[in-house]
Amino acid sequence: MKTYYRFKFYLNARHSVKFGGNVSAIHPHTWEIAIMFRSEQEETVNFTHFEKELESYFLQFEGEFLNELSAFKRTTPIMENIGKILFEDIKKLVNDRDLDFKAFEISENPTRTYIIEDD
């Protein structure tokens, strides 16, 4: 039997996107972010400190206009690019805990989710 943990977070931020030469107005999103990982430990693990560390990581983006942040200077902050950047940072946090990172999900609305699985 394989078991996993799934943590969810919500990130409120604004962005503007450019497609085909057209630039959208600045608009807000509440992105839902989920990370899934395994722990090799048999007993239940207290993840309170780790969860707070992840929440602290997301605070750097909370309420911000993403286009102006250094993390997005080289790429347009569309859902997929946001996901790729957050994935890499969160993967490091998970792996630093000797956990097995499985997947990252980011949703910009209830019907659209971008998923990255770790190899």
Tell me the torsion sign for CA atoms 93, 94, 98, 103: negative
Q: What is the longest distance spanned by two Cα atoms in the chain?
A: 54
Instruction: Give DSSP secondary structure letters for 56-93.
Output: HHHHTTTT-BGGGSGGGTTS---HHHHHHHHHHHHHHH
pLDDT in tens, 65-80: 999 999 999 999 999 9
* Residue 87: domain span: 5-16+27-117
Domain assignment present for residue 108? The answer is yes
Domain assignment present for residue 51? The answer is yes
Domain assignment present for residue 113? The answer is yes
Q: What is the pLDDT of residue 30?
A: 97
CATH classification of the domain holding 95? 3.30.479.10
In terms of Cβ atoms closer than 10 Å to its own Cβ (0-12, 13-18, 19+), residue 94 is buried
Domain assignment present for residue 93? The answer is yes
Q: Is the pLDDT higher at 94 or at 3?
A: 94
Asked if residues 101 and 91 have their Cβ atoms less than 8 Å apart, the reply is yes
Percent of the chain exceeding pLDDT 90 equals 71
Could you tell me how far CA 14 lies from the centroid of its own chain?
15
pLDDT in tens, 17-47: 988 889 899 999 999 999 999 887 766 777 8
* SS3 state at 24: coil
Asked if residues 91 and 84 have their Cβ atoms less than 8 Å apart, the reply is no
Domain assignment present for residue 22? The answer is no
Domain assignment present for residue 62? The answer is yes
Domain assignment present for residue 110? The answer is yes
Report the domain count for the chain: 1
Domain assignment present for residue 21? The answer is no
Asked if residues 57 and 85 have their Cβ atoms less than 8 Å apart, the reply is no
Could you tell me the pTM of the whole model?
0.90
